[in-house]
Amino acid sequence: MATETLIWLLPLPPILAFFLIVLFTNRSKWFSHTIAVGAALLSWLGSMIVFIRAVQTEHLGQHPFESSIPWLATGDTFLKIGVLVDPLAAVTLFFVAWTVLMIFIYSVGYNNFGQPKGDHDKPGLPPHGATATDNQGHNHAVLSIEPMYSRFFAFIGLFAFGMYTLVVSDNLLTLFVGWEIMGLCSYLLIGFWFQKPSARAAAIKAFITTRVGDVFMLLGVAYLYSETNTLSFREIFTPENLIRLAEKPSVLPILGLSTAGLIGVLLFIGTIGKSAQWPLHVWLPDAMEGPTPVSAMIHAATMVSAGVYMVIRMFPLLSAGMENGQLTAAMQLMAVIGSFTALFAATIAVAQNDIKRVLAYSTISQLGFMIAALGIGAYVAAAFHLVTHAFFKALLFLGSGSVIHGMEHGVLHTGNHHVDPQDMYNMGGLRKKMPVTFWTFLIGGFALSGFPLVTAGFWSKDEILADAFGHHHWVVFGTLALAALLTAFYTMRQITLTFLGEPRTEEARHAHETPWTMLLPLVVLAVFAVTFGWVGIPEDFMGLRLPPNWFHEFVGGTLLEHPEKLTFNWLPLLTSLFVALGGLSLGWVVYIKVKAGMGDPLAKPLGRVYGWMKNKWYHDQVYDTLFIKPAYWISEQFTYLFMDRKVIDGFLHLFARLTPWIGKGLREKIDLPVINGVIGDGSARVTQYFGRRLKFVQTGKVQQYMLAALVFTFATLVYFLFTLRP
Amino acid sequence: MIPLSWYLLFAAALFCIGLFGVLSRKNAVAILMGIELMLNAVNVNLIAFWRYLAPAGIAGQAFAIMVFAVAAAEVAVGLALIISVYRRRDTVAADEIDMLKW
């Protein structure tokens, strides 16, 4: 099959799976997951073929796989729909296909396929467990199957469609369509257990917060279209276009932004929403209310990465006008927001006890790394970290899901439902109970911390730090290094609290390893979390002569101007070695001795700062005061009481009174005298009058009629004879 | 050969006689006869024009035959009406049959 045709077909299987499950197989759990996983497998297979062909193509950057057709006519031009796989899309496709497939498989086990129906499970609530009787007649509490099993697979199928569409699309419009489909699925899946009020609130929060970003992004798309008359990436990123956009001042005379700058900033605000950057990061931690595979796929590996993917895509536009390493306004904004978010989210992650929330803040922080990297122009490093992060963060989330599952097993065993299976302080010592989960989680955690030399996270994070150092962005470098230190620290804190030491609760003592459908994805992703870093090793690393940096060569080819390589410097390497190892050992030292019932050892020395960190620097409270309360107040006082009750109802009452008055006037002044009197009765009277006068003509005598006809015929004849004579 | 105008004059005379009959006679049957005369005057015209102006075609003859057929049908209907009126009202005088009067 031609590669372009194959690319067109990539998003298709998941959407077909969605419709098949929704319309036909939703009663059968086995069919539903078979179809969904089968569809993911097909897309995966296609993606791998495309990826391999892309890798084998020389100069893919200049001659990418592309194909497009006219889609929407807008006046004289067409908006096109099309596909494009250049090096950037190829590597994105690679990690998306792998993580999506793995998470689909994981979902089968996570949703307890093969377990009995719950004793009192309701749709819209997580499964509570069932009672099973064994051969000897003993009753056991066991995990029960998710009541809305098929719906889950339908939703993640639709989501996968959105993600594939976004990755392969060759223009901003279809990218935006995929973007919004994912937003919808995110909303649906966060609120999957919709009977939990917290899940409902989280879903709404996620939807509305990302909407803020999306509105600005749409503005950016529209502005871009009005300036360039096209939304296709390849047509926008011509040197003439970029120079023109960079030199033309924008419509808004603020900050002296160029057109390219303003468009870039608007699009970047979309990313702030989607990739949960400060100040729109508040939705992502709450999104952990959704099932864990959803957190792994949507809120770690793919959807939030899509925001970063979009800005990496738009990098030529964002950097348009960059001269001699002088950053553009949009890039400065990205560098500031990204590095601030990276540090800020890392501080919050240090003080969270919920195993998934730590990972959520860690995701925000890592996305901040990528944004900051892009902001300082480290294009390849950002893309590299995007890919490696997707692998190890999906791994960590799936690992945390496995841990929670194991803990739920323990909770069912003891029957004490007040124990929160997600609280790390209830865990401890799980390494013996769940060895596979432990080792894969350890690999993921070390990759996240940037454990030197072996893990993927080390190479990508080191590249970002080296880039910041090499281009003398000291503030960014310092901030990111500090964030990396905290990252290693909270990761080790998490690993130590969860897996090491002794079990702190009875539940943790009875935790149980999860089924193979959940372990297989962990192992596969763990392999990538290690090996994928090796494709991007700088060739002059530590002064050695290594094979060329494949990732840099390949992805760098996406840009018109191949990004230059950094020369090796010992300082950033030592920094990243120090922060990774220092953070890890510090985390181990501080938390290894935590016993049951003890609080966080950091709470005392940090004092009030710890409280701020634990309460997320009070963002939710501030937003509540700044936006939500005023919004409620405006809805209540202004919209409801003033606008609705006074103005609109007033208008309505006015009309209600005005209408009979006008109607009465019309009837008395127009209808009765004019219509009835003149037109109605008058015409009747006239007809009657003439009827009376003329009736005598009708004698009933046929010969008189004949005579009359004759006379008229004769007269007509005479008339024509005299008038028509030439 | 007799010129065309003679035929036309003859036909006109025949038509006028028929018309006079239709207008002046009291008896409905006689009125019908007058109509027949008028139709035949038309026929004379048709045949004469055909013969003198377009002898190659058959349109004139065809029209004449059409007129015969219509005339026959008209007489059949007309006589039936007259008989029907006579049975009910004991008269065939045209000026007494005036039920459609005001």
Which pLDDT tens digit goes with each residue over A465-523? 888 888 888 898 999 999 999 999 999 999 988 888 888 888 888 888 888 888 899 99
**Residue B89, min C-alpha distance to chain A (Å):** 15
pLDDT of A561 > 80? The answer is: no
* B94 with A700: Cβ contact below 8 A: no
SS (H, E, C) A39-55: HHHHHHHHHHHHHHHHH
Dihedrals phi, psi of A120, to nearest 5 degrees: -140, 50
**Residues whose CB is less than 8 angstroms from the CB of residue A330 and which lie 6 or more positions away in sequence, other chains included:** A260, A261, A264, A265, A268, A318
The better pLDDT of the pair B18, A549 is held by B18
Mean pLDDT in order along chain B per 10 residues (102 residues) = 91 94 91 92 93 89 93 93 91 84 74
Best to test chain B binding among A690, A694, A702 (most B CBs inside 10 Å): A702
* A698 with B23: Cβ contact below 8 A: no
Give the pLDDT confidence score for residue A726 in this predicted structure.
66
Interface contacts A/B by beta carbons within 8 Å: 31
Closest CA to A266 of A281, A278, A250, A282: A250
**Residue B1, min C-alpha distance to chain A (Å):** 31
**Residue B102, min C-alpha distance to chain A (Å):** 6
- Check: CB of residue A405 under 8 Å from CB of residue A336: no
Rounded mean pLDDT, A163-168: 92
User: What is the distance between the alpha carbons of residues A374 and A367, in angstroms, rounded to a whole number?
Assistant: 11
Q: Which residues of B touch A699 (CB under 8 A)?
A: 98, 101-102
What is the CA angle B7-B12-B18, rounded to 5?
A: 125
Q: Read off the pLDDT of residues A431-467 as tens digits, 9 standing for 90 and up.
A: 888 889 999 999 999 999 888 888 888 888 888 888 8
Best to test chain B binding among A690, A703, A713, A714 (most B CBs inside 10 Å): A703
Whole-prediction pTM value? 0.77
- Check: CB of residue A525 under 8 Å from CB of residue A391: yes
Q: Which residues of A touch B31 (CB under 8 A)?
A: 702-703
Residues of chain B that touch chain A, judged by Cβ-Cβ distance less than 8 Å? 19, 22-23, 31, 94-95, 97-102
* A698 with B100: Cβ contact below 8 A: yes
- Check: CB of residue A386 under 8 Å from CB of residue A305: yes
User: What is the distance between the alpha carbons of residues A249 and A245, in angstroms, rounded to a whole number?
Assistant: 8
Closest CA to A308 of A343, A344, A337, A283: A337
The better pLDDT of the pair A617, A645 is held by A645
Q: What is the ipTM of this complex?
A: 0.84
Dihedrals phi, psi of A317, to nearest 5 degrees: -75, -45
What the block records as the tokens of B50 is: 């055909």
The residues facing A68 across adjacent strands are: A82
Alpha helix stretches (DSSP H) within A500-597: 506-509, 516-531, 550-556, 570-591
What is the CA angle A196-A404-A458, rounded to 5?
A: 115
**Residue B30, min C-alpha distance to chain A (Å):** 12
Q: Which residues of A touch B102 (CB under 8 A)?
A: 695-696, 698-700
**Residues whose CB is less than 8 angstroms from the CB of residue A199 and which lie 6 or more positions away in sequence, other chains included:** A190, A191, A192, A193, A289, A290
Give the pLDDT confidence score for residue A233 in this predicted structure.
86
pLDDT of A400 > 70? The answer is: yes
Q: How far is residue A388 CA from its own chain's centroid?
A: 18
Residues of chain A that touch chain B, judged by Cβ-Cβ distance less than 8 Å? 695-696, 698-703, 706-707, 710
What the block records as the tokens of A637 is: 């006082």
Closest CA to A127 of A353, A409, A397, A355: A409
* B98 with A699: Cβ contact below 8 A: yes
* A707 with B23: Cβ contact below 8 A: yes
Largest Cα separation within chain B, whole Å, is: 55
Give the pLDDT confidence score for residue A159 in this predicted structure.
93
- Check: CB of residue A225 under 8 Å from CB of residue A215: no
User: What is the distance between the alpha carbons of residues A168 and A67, in angstroms, rounded to a whole number?
Assistant: 11
* A703 with B94: Cβ contact below 8 A: yes
Residue pointed to by tokens 């553009």 = A328
Give the pLDDT confidence score for residue A51 in this predicted structure.
92
Q: Read off the DSSP letter of residue B54.
A: -
**Residue A689, min C-alpha distance to chain B (Å):** 15
* A706 with B22: Cβ contact below 8 A: yes
Number of residues in chain B: 102
Domain parsing of chain B, residue ranges: 26-91
Q: Which residues of B touch A711 (CB under 8 A)?
A: none
**Residue A716, min C-alpha distance to chain B (Å):** 18
**Residue A684, min C-alpha distance to chain B (Å):** 19
- Check: CB of residue A235 under 8 Å from CB of residue A228: yes
- Check: CB of residue A455 under 8 Å from CB of residue A529: yes
Give the pLDDT confidence score for residue A560 in this predicted structure.
72
Q: How far is residue A582 CA from its own chain's centroid?
A: 34
